[in-house]
Amino acid sequence: MAAGQRKFLIVGIDYFTKWVEAVPLAKITEENATEFLRQGIVCRFGIPEVVVTDNGTQFTGKRFTKYCRDLRIKLVHTSVAHPQANGQVEVTNRTLLHGLKTRLEDVGGSWTEELPSVLWSYRTTAREPTRETPFNLFFGAEAVVPVEMGMPSLQIECFDPATNERRLRKSLDLLSEV
């Protein structure tokens, strides 16, 4: 699908960390809403306890609701007539839209090509409610941003691949089996 055919953005937000996932789409259908939840959320981060959506047909149809029910995800709908009922999403959508407009004014190009940069910026900027970056809350460490690669930092200077691998293996051993 050509980038020009993508007019919509489906967005998922973790309410605690403020981590955002977003995918550009030509249409937001029940099928691709379900795939976004499956591929973009469940397969990457695990099964959420609750999913809050508006009550558009893409989120109230049989396939989407069955997928949520099968995974025991509580599905909560807000009113289309009152989108402010899901204020965090509205604020985040405005922030992403502003970021996309700014990037397009600065560098031009297609909004779908600029989306990863806007998401990176959002994820590595401290949010007001937490005073932390979504990246830090999600991964437990601050991101090493490209401008820091040539500069010494504690995170870069103390990185040891063998220690990192040992810690990752220990973390995996502590995970309970499903």
- Give per-residue pLDDT as tens, 132-143: 999 999 998 888
CB 14 within 8 A of CB 139: no
Of 51, 20, 26, 27, the residue nearest 38 (C-alpha): 51
Contacts of 121 (CB under 8 A, 6+ apart): 99
Instruction: Quote the tokens at residue 166.
Output: 């040992």
2 band by pLDDT with thresholds 50, 70 and 90? very low
Residue 149 confidence (pLDDT): 54
* pLDDT for 97 beyond 60: yes
Average pLDDT value for the chain: 85
* pLDDT for 150 beyond 70: no
Domains and CATH numbers, the chain: 3-139 (3.30.420.10)
Task: Give bridge partners of residue 52 from the DSSP assignment.
Answer: 76
What mean pLDDT is predicted for residues 25-50? 95
Q: If DSSP codes are grouped into helix, strand and coil, which group holds residue 12?
A: strand
What mean pLDDT is predicted for residues 74-89? 78
Contacts of 88 (CB under 8 A, 6+ apart): 13, 15, 18
Residue 15 confidence (pLDDT): 87
Listed as own residue / partner, the contacts of 127-131 with beta carbons closer than 8 Å and 24 or more positions apart are 127/18, 129/18, 130/17, 130/18
Q: If DSSP codes are grouped into helix, strand and coil, which group holds residue 128?
A: coil
1 band by pLDDT with thresholds 50, 70 and 90? very low
Where is average pLDDT lowest: 74-78, 125-129, 133-137? 125-129
Does residue 130 or residue 85 have the better pLDDT?
A: 130
What backbone phi and psi angles, to 5 degrees, belong to 26? Answer: -75, -40
- Give per-residue pLDDT as tens, 11-24: 999 988 999 999 99
* pLDDT for 94 beyond 80: yes
* pLDDT for 91 beyond 60: yes
pTM: 0.76
